[in-house]
Amino acid sequence: MVSFKCKDIGMDCDFKATADNVQELDEQIARHAREVHKIDPLDKEMWMKIHKAEK
């Protein structure tokens, strides 16, 4: 299991996601970024931050 919190990348947001693997987690994060933060697509720098924060 892997999980991610928006707070871990410094966002003022209570979003938490959990998935079986990183691919699924990335999909959830991409959807959340698009729907809530209006960020689409996430750039390379953001993904680097996100991947560091995933555990």
**CA 25/CA 19 separation, integer angstroms:** 5
Q: Does 39 bind Zn ion (CB under 5 A)?
A: no
Part in contact with Zn ion (CB under 5 A); list of ranges 1-9, 22-30, 44-52: 1-9
Q: Does 15 bind Zn ion (CB under 5 A)?
A: yes
Part in contact with Zn ion (CB under 5 A); list of ranges 13-21, 23-31, 45-53: 13-21
Residues that bind Zn ion (CB under 5 A): 6, 11, 13, 15
